[in-house]
Structure formats: C-alpha cells, structure tokens
Amino acid sequence: MNRTQEAFADFQQTAITDGGYLGRMQAVTNQENHLAEKLEIELKAVNARLKAARVNVSIRKSGKALQLRTTLPIKPGDIDKNSIGTKQYDISLGIPFNFDGLNTAEEEAHELGRLIARKQFQWNDKYLGKTRKKTTAKTIGDLITDFENNYFQTRKRTLRSENTFNSYRYIAQTHLPKDKLANNANFIEAVNCCNSSDSVKNELIKVIRVLCKCYGLEVPELSNLKIKPSSTRKRDIPTDAEIEQEYLKFETYAINRPSKLLTREDRNNWQLWRWVYGMLATYGLRPREIFLNPDLDWWLSPDNTMNTWRVNEECKTGEREALPLYPRWVETFNLKTDIEAIELLKAKIQNKVSTQQINSARHGTDRWFRFVGITFQPYDLRHAWAIRAHLMGIPIKAAADNLGHSVNMHTSIYQKWFSLENRKVAIEEAIKKKSKVQELQDMVIELQQENEKLRLENERLRLQTKNPELMQKIN
C-alpha cells in the first residue's frame, strides 16, 4: 500500500446520496480535505527531520506545489539591496504537494544543503527553473498514461472509486487525441469534434476537467461549459402490468431457445437473470447493487422480516437498506424462494474482486434483456419505481433515500419520464383525495350542526326540569 492509501486508513466517507457528478465531486472534496490534513502533518515532520539533521533548507507549500526555502548567493540579475551577498529564496522545482513529492523534496533539500555546507552551490538551470520549463510540454497521451497514478494521489482507492476512474479513462482513451499537446485549444477542439451524443460530450468535458486537475492544468473555457441536449431521448416507462407480463418471457425463452445455445450458456442461467429482473423491479436497484458484495445471508435470514436488500458501501452512493414498494412482488417474483437463482448469483460473483470483474458480471443484465425480448431497458425498472412511488404518495425524501440518490436527482432526473398517462393518474388520484376530503369536511359540519341541536335540546330539558314556571313564560 502506498503512502496516499495509508493516509486514508482512518478516513470515513460521509454518506453521499447524489450519485451524479456533483455528488461524486463532494465525495472527492471530502477526501481531498482529509488528505490535505495528512500532508500538512507530514510536511511538518519532514521539516523537523531536516532541522534535526542540521540541513539549512526547509520545505514550504505554495499552491499545489512544494518549494525549497533557504539563503543563497544573489541570483544572477537580482539586486543585492542589503549588500550582504546573500538573500532568502524559494526554489521551485516543479514538485507536486503529495507524498511522493514530499519524498522528492526532502531528497532535494539534503542535496541543496550539502552544496551550501560545502560552499559549492552555483546557480544553474535546475535552480533557475529553466530545465523544468523545457520539460513541461506534455501530450494528451502522456496525461492519460499517468492518469491512474495521479488520480489516486488524491483519492482513496476503493471499488467505487476504481469504477469511476475506469469510466473516466475509457472516455479519455476513446475521445481524446493522444498525439496532440495537452493545452486549452486541443481540449476544446476535442469536445467540438466529438461525434457522439450530447450526454457523451458532457461526460467528456467532465473527464477533461478531472484529467487537467490531476496535473494542475487550467482549461478556463471548460470551467462552466455544458452542452445543451438538442432533444430529449424518449423513454417508455413500463406499467406494473407490463412488468409482471414481461417477467414471464424468461421462462418462455428458456423453453423455446435453440438447443445450440445450451453449449454456450448454462442450462439454467435464465433463472438468475429472471431473478435479477425481479429485484430491479421490486427495489428499484442499480444492476451493480445486486452484484457488488451482496449480503445474501441477511437476504435469506428469518430476521429479515421486512425483506430489505442491503446495498454494499462500495456501491455508487454508499450503503443503504432498500425496501420493496410492492411487498407482494417479493413473492410474485420468487425473490426469496428461488434458491437455485441465488446459488447461480453466488457462483457468478465468486472470486470477482476487481471493479472490472464485477462490471463484467453485471453487464449480462442488458444482454439477457435482449435475449428474451424485454421491450424496455434495465434502468427503466428503476425509473418505474420512482414514478410508482410518486403515484402512491410516498414522500419524495423517503423515495429518494430508498433509491440511493438525492431529492434533487429524484425530482429533476427521474420525474422527467413522468408520462402523460401517469400525470392523468396522478391528477385523478389527487381529485379523488380532494373529493374525499371535501366529503369528510361536509360530514364534520353536519355532525357539528347536529351536535349543536342536541346541545340546545339538552339545555332546554335541563331548564324545564329545574324551573318549569320560567319555561312556561319562555314558551
């Protein structure tokens, strides 16, 4: 384990419910703040060692880089204002402020200290910064080659962060010109020349920002740039009846599939993917949340009376317990009784520890939807869960927490697939509720009036019993 990852040993990530870019950046900021504290502690330790070794050089932080501070002969071209022949200088050697950089800076401090002690120091290209300027020009390919090492200099390496990085690296390798210099103009050109969808262009912009941040490069034109989608992709969200009907296609496929496929696919593999389908529909899970270290002992435990699914902490938005919106679907889709499917899941994920292996396992979800002829995408089941929760009157915060994302994402992203038919249902339900409320209010008023009549009649009878003469006069 390297020094950066050692520094994260005692780090506890605050729960992040936003699975989008802003949520990921918040998680990164939390990690960067933790790492900055550890680096400051190490910087003080390095300077303490230099002082104990009587090295007349200290190390200081300047922005995101380290400098050597010491007293040296007057630099060529500099003015000796005090006429003493020496001056305090901060020497920039292009050393980044990270653990590797601190090791390098400490070595450089000892080397410079020896030159000073032996009165052998001379201002050369290295200490004047000329050699550093000659080597700063890098190609985009150079940045991508060192991307992984630099990325995890400021982040804790986990399955979650590795998954994010792999998606960044794929986009960088696919859409960036590796032979061109890493400068503002070439990054902007790469975005403008990208022939993919607007969503991919926006992802590319994010990746360029992250890539440049790792190297301390500035790309001002991309700071607030976002490609506005030219058109909204249509998505057909399945109804509850359609979800239950499509579930049956897995067994239909198994019965009618060509026999030649049995040599390539496990004979009973369709049961696993039918079970996965049911889990996605019932809990609104992301496919990865089924395959990444699932707590199957808890799932099958008799103590799990509420049938919650425990999402692992290494998943996109951390750990949570998801509840079924329709508890009956747990039985309808045999989610706890299809032991053979659960055993197939165990075999599928056995010894899969890297993020690439886990992704490879869960990618079968899309493939099997196509195999059996499902008319929608796996993620549509998640969108359907969100819409169903809204129609049922589930509070937005509760629904968002169950899906493992922020309220903002729940309302701005998922609700955009709220179709005309769903709006009609929501409005009709609201009218029914309003009518019911009005009916109850009318009943309350009638009961209040009847109660008042009974109270007056009771008062009349009381007075008549107490003072019959007075009642005769009143009447």
Positions marked active-site = 286, 316, 382, 405, 414
Q: Which residues of 332-342 are buried (b: 16+ CB within 10 A; e: fewer)?
A: ebbbeebeebb
The span from the CA of 279 to the CA of 441, in Å, is: 42
Cβ–Cβ under 8 Å, residues 164 and 24: yes
Both structure tokens of 90: 């901060």
The span from the CA of 359 to the CA of 289, in Å, is: 11
Residue that the structure tokens 């499917």 belong to = 341
Distances 313 to 14, 34, 258, 461 between C-alpha atoms, Å: 11, 19, 40, 72
Residues near 115 by beta carbon (within 8 Å), at least 6 away in sequence? 121
The span from the CA of 358 to the CA of 338, in Å, is: 22
Q: Which residues of 294-325 are buried (b: 16+ CB within 10 A; e: fewer)?
A: bbeeebeeeebeebbbbbbbbbbbbebebbbb
Both structure tokens of 194: 């990208």
Rounded-to-10 torsion of CA 340, 342, 345, 351: -100
Give the single-character DSSP code of 318. -
Which one, of 312, 389, 374, lies nearest residue 349 by Cα?
312
